[in-house]
Structure 1
Amino acid sequence: MAVSGEEQGGDGRDGPLWWDRRRAAVLDVSLAGVSVAECAAEGVVFARDTGVPVVLGVLFGALTGAVVVLRRRMPIAVVLVGIAVTPAEMGFLLSLVGLYTLAACEVPRRITATLSVMSFAATFVVTYVRTVGEEEAGRTLVVGLSLFMAVALTVPPVLLGMYVGARRRLMESLQERADSLERELSLLADRAEERAEWARTEERTRIAREMHDVVAHRVSLMVVHAAAVQAVAVKDPVKAAQNAALVGDMGRQALTELREMLGVLRTPRPERPERVERVVERVPAPVVPVSPGGEDGPGLAGLEALVGQSRAAGMVVELDVRGAAGAYPAVVEQTAYRVVQEALTNCHKHAPGARVVVRLGRREGEVAVQVENGPGVAGAALPGLPSGGNGLVGMRERVVGLGGVFVSGPTDAGGFRVSAVLPGVPRG
């Protein structure tokens, strides 16, 4: 069983054979060298006691001591060798290192306990047999000395190995938890970036709708008045002057709204604190949509003036208001205003000369607006009023985004109808 000892660590592998690190290999080879010297010296004594040639005793001791180099690869084999040579009174360092490595590695605890008990018993028996024959030593002293030697050579390395192994496993667990947390934070950062990108896209779409509403309506009215000025400039100079003044007013209003919108876009973002966490740095701040003009934007109170501008441009517009005025959120009132504004712009573009009816219904919990026009008058079309084809789409997005209902389509009389119902409290 290959294990990683307490000296191993780091992310890369730069050691030879089964060692993860070079210093671990150097340590094991050094321990093996010391163990070989110890066992070779003890092999001389063993050869003299058993009557075998000294060379064989030294060779046997050297081979036994060299087993230490396998302690990370085969800790069980190292402990078994230590137990086997205990009767020859050699391999003390071998036994200590083997028991320590066995207790520190991932070997099942029952195997560690079994081998520890076997080593304890072997040391006790060998010590007892070696000392019991001495006449000056009493039996109690022999038993006590044997027990002391068994405990001293078995318990400390096992306890130290268990402590180091538990500590290493705890550090690995903490590292795994840290890596898992890092991955989760990275995932959250990616999701936050996706949400921020979505918010930026929504903000660009919203600004595009605002620009369309402001420019399309005002410019359409300016084109209508400019055409009227051209038509009556010779016949009715007073009327031409009035239309020219209206064109100027429309242009100034459009510029004012555009300045407000651009002012919001140019507002600098607040500076971020210098001291921020590395992971938090990766999470972009979400883009919060800001309504140009804020609470001062157009609302239901401005419908009368809006309709008046179309009347001044020559359109026959009827405003039908029902229900008592109530307090609605600014975004709801602004959306209702923009729906009517865009619908009137479409009437100027696609149904010039048609009669238009603007209806506003207010009741508790919702606001309803409807703009219906009849068929256009033949020959009343005005040049220079291009259509981008996004008017109805923008109105639907506005209304649905607040949780309302939007319906548009032709009427049986040949006209067109736009209807929207908005909740008194916007969704979200």
Structure 2
Amino acid sequence: MTATGADREAAGSTTRGYWWWERRRGVALDVGLALVSALECALEGIEFAGDTGLPVPLGVVFGLLAGSVLLVRRRWPIVVVLVSIATTPAEMGFLMGLVGLYTLAASEVPRRITVVLTGMTFVGAFIVGYVRLRQSVSGYAGAGPGPEDWYVPLVSLFMALGLTAPAVLSGLYIGARRRLMESLRERADSLERELSLLADRAEERAEWARTEERTRIAREMHDVVAHRVSLMVVHAAALQAVARKDPEKAVRNAALVGDMGRQALTELREMLGVLRSGASVGGAGGGRVPLAQVGRVAAVAAAAPEDGPRLSEVEALVAQSREAGMAVELSVEGESGAYAPEVEQTAFRVVQEALTNVHKHAAGARTWVRLAHRGDEVAMQVENGPADGAGAAAGLPSGGNGLVGMRERVLGLGGVFVSGPTDAGGFRVSAVLPGGSAG
């Protein structure tokens, strides 16, 4: 597993607490360099004291103080370079100058400051080298051109370049590499965060899809069973009322209840069969089948022409409601077109659920079912008058999901759905669906 940016920051924060150092090895390295630099400058301070006539202890102390400045190279690299430039005439601080220039070039100090300080270091080293070399070869000067005319400037130039160029170039390379690594690390952290967000969104979408499929399956089950079971309850109530008064009518009602029950069981068995077949196909090899896959199989199967209801079955649907005692009239306008299977199924379900609601909430009310074929669309309306209370004893339960399911079906196909009470005290359900294309 890879560590995220937050993990790296937390790991880095555990090593902080050493002033400006981030790691213990950085402390050890800088302390070691400072000790070596201080020792070097102390030894060079002895020679400096002898050349200038200062007391040797004073020269040693001066060297120790100057060399120990290297300890703060990470925090104040400019100070280290300035001290090394200042001690150049005393010919001390060789290590301090190299390390200081390297640190300055590798740091985030503006490049113009780095160029200026590098130039000052180069000029100082060139002047000191030129003076020392000229003093060394002055005894060889003759009447004609001597070595000081070309040897001294050339060697001084090489010495100055050797004291500045390698350190500065190495620092620039390391600084650029460090910045590149930080940029890549930040980009990796950004990608990890984006992947985490994408994973969260994918999980949200998957959960949303599962919820949608569960809702669709529940809606299908509701549409398949609720209508016929409601009719069965109505017929059972009528059977109870006329069992002793009119035995022949009671027998007819009992037969109707049996037919309704068998039809409900058949439709329920077909729906469960679709779910089982979808699960067996998708779950080959013993794997668990996702609910979304089962829901898609059920939805597709329910929309198939050979399995789903058709608009031509609305007349039989109305006849069943008439047999249950409902005063319902059916009117059809226009000629039926070649609608898509899901359009015909949705139109049938809307009429079916609307009639079921009339059985539940307005038993005995006069009802009108209207279908209108308008070329590229089909409209349906189910309207009932005020209830007379005759069916109150039926005790039909209501889950409150009928209108919601109808609306979801219609809007899902790009149609229009309107429902609400009428001025006469009844209720009206209207829907318009685009025809789509058959096949």
Which bracket does the TM-score occupy, shorter chain normalised?
0.7 to 0.9
Partner residue of 2:15?
Answer: 14
- Judged with a 3 Å threshold, the aligned counterparts in structure 2 of structure 1 residues 351 and 59 are, in CA distance, closer, same or farther, namely closer
User: Is the 1:375–1:415 contact (alpha carbons within 8 Å) kept by the matching residues of 2?
Assistant: yes
How far 1:261 sits from its partner (Å)? 4.9
Match of 1:331 in 2: 342
Which letter maps to 1:361?
A
The equivalent residue for 1:255 is 265
> Between Structure 1 and Structure 2, which shows a larger proportion of helix residues?
2
Question: Which moves more between the two structures, 19-28 or 174-183?
Answer: 174-183
CA distance in 2, matches of 1:211, 1:232: 32
Q: Write the distance in 1 (CA, Å) between the matches of 2:67 and 2:181.
A: 32
2:335 alignment partner, SS class: coil
Partner of residue 95 from structure 2, selected from 64, 86, 93 = 93
1: distance between equivalents of 2:12 and 2:166? 31
> Which position in structure 2 is the counterpart of 1:187?
197
Q: Select the residue among 154, 164, 172 that pairs with 1:154.
A: 164
CA distance in 1, matches of 2:361, 2:57: 115
Give the drift of 1:113.
Answer: 0.1
Match of 2:152 in 1: 142
AA paired with 1:293? A
Supply the distance in 2 between the matched residues of 1:20 and 1:111 (Cα, whole angstroms).
25
Tell me, in whole angstroms, the C-alpha distance in 2 between the residues paired with 1:124 and 1:315: 114
Once the two structures are overlaid, the 10-residue window that deviates more, 163-172 or 248-257, is 248-257
What is the rounded CA distance, in whole Å, between the counterparts of 1:288 and 1:127 in structure 2? 87
Larger deviation: 258-267 or 315-324?
258-267
**SS, match of residue 336 in structure 2:** coil
CA contact (8 A) 2:370 2:381 kept: yes
After TM superposition, the structure 1 = structure 2 runs for residues 312-323 of structure 1, keeping only pairs within 5 Å, are: 312-323=323-334
Instruction: Measure, in 2, the Cα distance between the counterparts of 1:116 and 1:285.
Output: 70
Map 1:2-81 → 2, pairs under 5 A: 11-15=12-16, 16-81=18-83
Shift of 1:309: 2.0
- Verify the 8 A CA contact 1:199 1:287 in the aligned structure 2: no
User: How big is each residue's C-alpha offset from its partner over 1:326-377, in whole Å with a ceiling of 9 and x where there is no partner?
Assistant: 3333333222112111111122233334443322122333210111234445
Distance 1:198 1:145 in 2: 78
**Separation (CA, whole Å) in 2 of partners of 1:63 and 1:193:** 63
CA contact (8 A) 1:353 1:380 kept: yes
Pick from 396, 399, 403: which aligns with 2:414?
Answer: 403
Question: Structure 1: how far apart are the matches of 2:29 and 2:274?
Answer: 68
- TM-score, normalised by the number of residues in structure 1: 0.84
1:223 equivalenced with 2:265 (yes/no): no
Amino acid at match of 1:11: G
Secondary structure of the residue aligned to 1:61 is: helix
How big is each residue's C-alpha offset from its partner over 1:161-216, in whole Å with a ceiling of 9 and x where there is no partner? 01111111111112222222222333333334444444444444444433433343
Q: How does 1:206-355 map to 2 (within 5 A)?
A: 206-234=216-244, 237=247, 239-261=249-271, 290=296, 291=299, 293-295=302-304, 296-355=307-366
Distance 1:73 1:216 in 2: 79
TM-score, structure 2 as length reference:
0.82
Check whether the contact 1:370–1:418 (CA below 8 A) recurs between aligned residues: yes
- Give 2:114's aligned amino acid: T
| RMSD (CA atoms) | 3.0
Change (3 A) 1:346 1:143: same
Secondary structure of the residue that 2:338 maps to in structure 1? Answer: coil
- Please state if 1:387 is matched with 2:392: no
Per the alignment, do residues 285 and 337 of structure 1 end up closer, same or farther by CA in structure 2, a change over 3 Å counting? closer
- 1:391 CA displacement: 3.0
Once residues 91 and 282 of structure 2 are traced to their aligned partners in structure 1, the CA distance between those partners, rounded to angstroms, is 78
Q: Which moved more, 1:397-406 or 1:139-148?
A: 397-406
Unpaired segments ≥5 residues, structure 2: 1-9, 141-146, 284-289
Report sequence identity in percent. 70
